[in-house]
Amino acid sequence: MLRRWVGLIVLGAFAAAPAMADVTAMAPDGFVIQVKGEVALDRDAAWARLLEIGLWWNGAHTYSGDALNVKLDAMAGGCWCELWAGGEVEHGRVVMVMPNAMLRADTALGPLQGLGVSGAMTFTLADGAAGGTAITLDYRVNGSSLSALDELAEAVDQVLTEQVTEFVKLN
């Protein structure tokens, strides 16, 4: 399963990405990624889109192959889960919600989950420069799987950039 997910990450690295992204920090025990975009929606509509994660998350970066199997319960303790006939996975646990402004999940996505590292992913919505809503995704990962984290940071950055790009361009 790890090889499958890593392969999917590498494939996702070649997708067009109008969102701005960067591995903003790299340390021996972790990395920080930030991805920014802007959507032509007001905050209420952008928040509603964020919570409908199965509509904009790329199914190639799921275990089932279908993003519609992914749900995000926007409440403290809520599950960011994927359920399908062949299994289920908890991608993350929601730890903070400020409606129309911020959602944070404790998550080690994909191959990171098997490495025993921890991650905090924060989606922040703010007023956009063009009158819409700006979205910022911050992902902080740390743990002791040093060489694996070095190898995966750029691929994870590409996958997350792809997701924010899909969030922004969804009709």
Distance CA 24, CA 13 (A): 17
Nearest to 15 by CA among 167, 159, 170, 169: 159
HSE value, Cβ hemisphere, 13 Å, CA-based, for 121: 19
Q: Report the Cα–Cα distance between both ends of the chain, in Å, rounded.
A: 32
Q: What is the pLDDT of residue 43?
A: 96
Helix (H) or strand (E) holding 43: helix 43-51
Which has the minimum average pLDDT: 10-19, 55-64, 116-125, 144-153?
10-19
What homologous superfamily is domain 2-169 in, according to CATH? START domain (3.30.530.20)
% of the chain surpassing 90 pLDDT: 64
pLDDT digits (tens, 9 = 90+) for 112-139: 998 889 999 999 999 998 889 999 999 9
What is the per-residue pLDDT for 170? Answer: 80
| Tokens found for residue 81 | 């889960």
